[in-house]
Amino acid sequence: MSDILDGVAVVGSANLDLVVEVSRPPLVGETLLGRAGGRFSGGKGLNQAVASARSGAPTRFCAVVGQDEAADVLQQTLADAGVVAAVRRSAAAPTGVAHVLAFDDGDNSIIVAAGANAELDTDDAVAGVAGAAVVLAQLEVPVGSIAAALQAGRTAGALTILNAAPAHASTVGMLADVDVLVVNETECTELGGVDRLHAAGAQTIVLTQGAGGVTLHRTDEQTLHIDAFRIDPVDSTGAGDAFCGVLAAALSHGESIEDALVRACAAGAVVAQHRGATTSALSPASITALVSSR
């Protein structure tokens, strides 16, 4: 049996996204007419796995889905993207679903019903990361399972990345097994800020700021800011997930974190210019073209 680590293993959520296009959020008690935006495969874990694979990295995905048609849709999406899926089907819970309100300016609001995602256990997670060079996880599934995946990855010598989304108090306790922590501004504030996260053991923090770009915070080093690519967004759903997936893929290929962050920003910009979080427009060529245009 080989001890060589290879590719990216993603542990996380898989949902069917139901998108409605509206001009604004509804008020409490209001019925607001919108436009059907379509059904798309989603969930932070699935989105990140698809982005990693579409950018050229061998990618595996560990998740739990239901015994339903939605699960069939998700598994087809993974297969089309070239992701090796270690997806278990729950005997009781339905596939997770996300209701996405897509606004005219490209922003969105999302409500998630976890469904089978809540059943992802530590055995699933530990088995799912075996042999990977990079382990990528988020927090839309049980946090104990994510902690186990990160610890197993670290023990095996993998680079571990945690996208602490949604923010969870247990994040701080996981940082000893996290090489790269990815948070947006809201999540960072909820977790106590960059200084507190550094003090808790996060040596490398990637702070994403949407159209404001990305700031890299490393212990005892100067911060590095990377500007966002200028685009006309169509749908920002999944842009942050594409960022994380391509960051993991680039690091698995041995790129420096500085170069990996530029490619990750480009990936997020490509996805934001298309409807749906798992657009086939994301590819090594589309990422490279955007990076080269800067």
Catalytic residues: 241
Cα three-residue angle 120-121-126, rounded to 5 degrees: 110
Neighbours of 136 (CB within 10 A): 37
Nearest to 87 by CA among 115, 117, 57, 132: 117
Cα–Cα distance, 229 to 293 (Å, whole number): 9
Do the Cβ atoms of 87 and 65 come closer than 8 Å?
Answer: yes
Do the Cβ atoms of 259 and 197 come closer than 8 Å?
Answer: no
Strand partners for 88: 64
Residue that has been written with the tokens 């842009």 in this structure:
239
Residues, the chain, total? 294
Strand partners for 64: 88
Cα–Cα distance, 263 to 168 (Å, whole number): 27
Do the Cβ atoms of 62 and 11 come closer than 8 Å?
Answer: yes
User: What's the burial of 282, exposed, middle or buried (CB within 10 Å: 0-12/13-18/19+)?
Assistant: buried
Nearest to 102 by CA among 19, 200, 170: 19
Is the bond preceding residue 166 a cis peptide, omega within 30 degrees? yes
